[in-house]
């Protein structure tokens, strides 16, 4: 995200929709985590391999959730 809420794909970030994934996955790739579908709309320098950054509303929420290991389903476009 560029600091203004606009992702690499050109969309505005949204809680419950936006994730950032490594460039090995196309922008627009859909990913299911715990039964909820997200869209890969962004990139990030620290996002490598199979790591996924789920957009949340604020830093406190991000710290509360922390880093987790999940089994996910990926649908590439």
- pLDDT tens digits along 15-73: 999 999 999 999 999 999 999 999 999 998 889 889 999 999 999 999 999 999 999 99
Q: pTM above 0.85?
A: yes
Q: pLDDT-based confidence at 3, cuts 50/70/90?
A: low
* Paired sense of beta strands 18-21 and 36-42, if any: parallel
Bridge partners of 39, per DSSP, are: 18, 30
pLDDT at position 18: 97
pLDDT in tens, 35-51: 999 999 999 888 988 99
Report yes or no: 27 and 8 within 8 Å, Cβ to Cβ: yes
């Amino acid at each position: 995200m560029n600091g203004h809420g606009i992702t690499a794909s050109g969309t505005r970030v949204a809680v419950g929709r936006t994730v950032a994934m490594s460039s090995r996955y196309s922008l627009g790739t859909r990913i299911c985590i715990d039964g909820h579908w997200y869209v890969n709309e962004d990139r990030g320098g620290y996002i490598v391999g199979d790591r996924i950054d789920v957009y949340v509303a604020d830093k406190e929420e991000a710290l509360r959730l922390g880093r987790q290991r999940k089994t996910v389903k990926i649908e590439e476009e």
